[in-house]
Amino acid sequence: MRLKTIAVSLALLCTSAVHAQPPATPAAPPSPAARPGSAPADAATTFVVKFKVKAGKEADFEHAFQEMSQGVREHEPGNIYYELYHTADDPQAYVVVERYKDAAAIAAHGRSPHGQKLFGALRDLTDGPPQVQRLIFVLSK
């Protein structure tokens, strides 16, 4: 059941992101005037996904994400970055930060064989579904 919840959550995330944003890579930050209430057409898409890992499963979780990261690196040219973090204050809390150049890249990520393999592994490794947050690019140095 948990796998189904995770898969549905991530599928909904990918689907909503695909339909909510046309493909684009920002050449310059969008102006604040372009953002009232919705994402600008040229906004970059970044996701922050938080996981709570079952006690004693941290090494297995990290291994599953090593395989996922390799798949993203080798087969997803539309992914700009895909990073796994461990929180400093909770040994069972992890965060993935991932950025995609366009909606097609997000959709490809959700359909990938390495993604499907990870979704299967998460059932036994995580304590509940992930928390997913979509970020809209505003400004960079």
Per-residue pLDDT of the chain (141 residues), as tens digits, is: 443 333 434 444 443 333 333 333 333 333 343 444 455 444 568 999 999 999 999 999 999 999 999 999 999 999 999 999 999 999 999 999 999 988 889 889 999 999 999 999 999 999 999 999 999 777 888
pLDDT score for 102: 86
Instruction: Say if CB 50 and CB 94 are below 8 A apart.
Output: yes
pTM for the whole structure: 0.70
Phi, psi for residue 134 in degrees, rounded to 5: -100, 130
C-alpha distance from residue 115 to each of 73, 99, 123 (Å): 12, 15, 13
pLDDT score for 38: 53
Please provide the distance, in angstroms rounded to a whole number, between the alpha carbons at the two ends of the chain: 43
Q: Which CATH topology does 2-19+44-136 take? A: Alpha-Beta Plaits (3.30.70)
The single residue listed with the structure tokens 């690196």 is: 73
pLDDT score for 97: 97
pLDDT score for 46: 95
pLDDT score for 140: 81
pLDDT score for 103: 84
Distance, CA of 112 to CA of 93 (rounded, Å): 25
